[in-house]
Amino acid sequence: MNEQAIIDYLETHPDFFNNHPLLLKKLTFHHSTKGTVSLIEAQLAQYRQEITSLTAQLEKFHQLGRQEADIFFALIPLQKKLFQAQDLFSVEKKLDQWAKSYELEGAKLLLFTDSWKKTATHPSSFWIDRNAFEIIRLERLGLRQFYLGELSGKEKSLLFLPEEFPIGSIACCLLGTKNTHKPTALLLFRSRDTQRFHPGQDISFLKHLVDIVDIHLEKHLSERIC
């Protein structure tokens, strides 16, 4: 009889050890750190390990829940202000004021020219050519929705006006990607501090913020090209 036959027999006869309790107590095997232990002791140790693992997972979920709640409450004041905005100018202004309250230099929105119909109410400073941005996207974002870090002088000049300099680091967020891989706009935050934004930072807050801004983008820019 080979090992597989024993395994198959025990699996098809789950009451085997109930019928042979003395055998269960006698069975032992060698543990790498504890030496010889009984089958029952080994099973209890395994259960304890599983409970410890489950407890750690539950604590992680609890921490994530607290983090989500903190983000939600932190964004409530901004949501109220954005819902009061009458147009895209007002949305950008309120985002800029909110960013400055967090000791950033400011925030701005840029619309892709091939996603929205241009109107006289939105000056050239609101628009960006997708082909021009593609260089930054390939270099900095790849397939990601967010980039946090520094830019070259040429990249900064494409995204920011001269009066918005100096710029140490930025957070670049792609908007309008929920239903398509093709973004419709950019949300940008800038700081003079080169270490304020850097790769590897937690982006949970930005993810929630982007969801909020997307709503107001659609609200004030109803004429989509594609």
Residue 97 lies in a domain: yes
* pTM for the full predicted model: 0.69
- Residue 224 phi/psi, 5-degree rounding, is -90, 145
- What pairing do the DSSP bridges indicate for beta strands 127-128 and 106-112? parallel
Do 109 and 76 lie in one domain? The reply is no
Q: Of the segments 5-9, 126-130, 177-181, which one has the largest average pLDDT value?
A: 126-130
127 with 200, same domain? yes
Alpha-carbon gap, residue 99 to 78, rounded angstroms: 10
Residues of the chain with pLDDT > 70: what percent?
77
CA angle in degrees (0–180, nearest 5) for 113-118-121: 130
The per-residue pLDDT for 32 is 61
**Mean pLDDT computed over every residue of the chain:** 83
Q: Is the pLDDT of residue 36 over 60?
A: no
Residue 38 has what pLDDT?
Answer: 63
Q: Is there a single domain that holds both residue 58 and residue 130?
A: no
- Residues 68 and 115 both lie in one domain: no
Question: Residues 10-23: what's their mean pLDDT?
Answer: 74
Whether residue 62 has pLDDT greater than 90: no
Note whether 212 and 104 are same-domain residues.
Answer: yes
At 134 the pLDDT is: 94
Domain annotation covers residue 226: no
Any idea what the CATH number is for the domain that residue 113 is in?
Answer: 3.30.450.40
- Count of CB atoms within 10 A of residue 39's CB? 15
pLDDT in tens, 102-133: 899 999 999 999 888 877 777 888 899 999 99
Task: Please determine, for residue 37, whether its predicted confidence score (pLDDT) is greater than 60.
Answer: no
Mean pLDDT of 41-59: 69
Give me the percent of the chain exceeding a pLDDT of 90.
Answer: 43
The pLDDT of residue 222 = 61
**How does residue 184 score in pLDDT terms, banded at 50, 70 and 90?**
very high
Domain boundary among 29, 55, 84: 84
> Is 30 inside a domain boundary?
yes
In this prediction, residue 117 carries a pLDDT of: 80
- Whether residue 225 is contained in a domain is answered as no
Q: Would you say residue 61 has pLDDT above 70? A: no
Same domain, 98 and 191: yes
Per-residue confidence (pLDDT) for residue 59, from 0 to 100 = 67
Q: Does residue 96 belong to any structural domain of this protein?
A: yes
**Number of other residues whose CB lies within 10 A of the CB of residue 130:** 14
Contact 91, 82 (CB under 8 A): yes
- Count of domains forming the chain: 2
Q: Of 26, 59, 84, which one is at a domain's C-terminal end?
A: 84
Same-domain status, 9 and 115: no
Residues 126 and 19 in one domain: no
Same domain, 92 and 77: no
84, 114, 148: which is the final residue of a domain? 84
State the sign of the Cα–Cα–Cα–Cα dihedral 132, 135, 136, 138: positive
Its domain, for residue 72, covers: 1-84
Residues 37 and 71 reside in one and the same domain: yes
55 & 112 share domain: no
Where is pLDDT greater, at 194 or 55? 194
Residue 10 inside a domain? The answer is yes
Asked if residue 212 is part of any domain, the answer here is: yes
DSSP state letters, 128-174 = E-HHHHHHHIIIIITT-SEEEE---HHHHHHHS-GGG---SEEEEEE
Residue 25 has pLDDT above 70, yes or no: no
Do 119 and 46 belong together in one domain?
no
Domain-located, residue 68: yes
